[in-house]
Chains A and B, each alone.
Chain A
Amino acid sequence: KAGVTQTPRYLIKTRGQQVTLSCSPISGHRSVSWYQQTPGQGLQFLFEYFSETQRNKGNFPGRFSGRQFSNSRSEMNVSTLELGDSALYLCASSLQGSYNEQFFGPGTRLTVL
């Protein structure tokens, strides 16, 4: 069974730009969660989508948004990029939700210059 895939793997953007990251979950998994990982803050929960609906949201500004499609693939968008948005963005899929075990993708490394 194929694992979680994320594209692109690396991105370099400048302040003020916007970016869209993509995540394809494990086949059959309906829940996709997004996390931001930085050396100082560790893994921080952004949001969770289940069956095309946002089910949970972390404490991030509205510049961070996401969506999920009918095939469970998910996208995350960050608008008006700031230097502090430089991080590894990880998505994780699970069968039913974040109370189940989650499986992580390889991540997208975003650098904001």
Chain B
Amino acid sequence: QKEVEQNSGPLSVPEGAIASLNCTYSDRGSQSFFWYRQYSGKSPELIMFIYSNGDKEDGRFTAQLNKASQYVSLLIRDSQPSDSATYLCAVNLQLGNQFYFGTGTSLTVIP
């Protein structure tokens, strides 16, 4: 089992819809969870981070963390074509205190 797993997609949603991206992780002791967005040919940029169970909202983005089930998700409301990118889940695993990325989910928002 990989340390961080994401559905690679591609995920396509119509403009204005909600996009739901999911991520699971292996280390139950993980404390920090991050979502990055990476446009083609660019470096990853931080969207959100979450440390506590529950939801965290920032504009159109909501991160959800469930430590008991070891998953973290990202919801994008009112999806826009400019949201089309690869979304990377990153987890700071307690074991070895290393930072692991999932392989990313490719999202396409169709106008």
Contact present for B88 and A105 (CB under 8 Å): no
B contact patch SS: strand
What is the total of A-B residue contacts with beta carbons within 8 Å?
Answer: 50
16 interchain pairs (CB within 8 A)?
A: A33-B99, A35-B101, A42-B104, A45-B100, A45-B101, A48-B99, A90-B43, A90-B44, A98-B99, A99-B31, A99-B92, A99-B99, A101-B46, A102-B46, A102-B99, A104-B43
Which residues of B are at the interface with A, using a C-beta cutoff of 8 A?
31-32, 34, 36, 42-46, 49, 88, 92, 96-104
B81 CB to nearest A CB, Å: 23
A53 to B11, CA, bound (A): 41
Contacts of A8 in B (CB 8 A): none
Chain A residues lying within 8 Å of B103, measured Cβ to Cβ, are 41-42
Q: How far is the CB of B98 from chain A (nearest CB, A)?
A: 5
Closest to A94 in B: B99
The 0/1 profile, CB within 8 Å of B marked 1, for residues 4-46 of chain A is 0000000000000000000000000000010100000111110
Let me know if A103 and B46 touch, CB within 8 A: yes
Cβ contact within 8 Å between B99 and A105: no
Do A104 and B97 touch (CB < 8 A)? Answer: no
Chain B residues with Cβ under 8 A from A80's Cβ? none
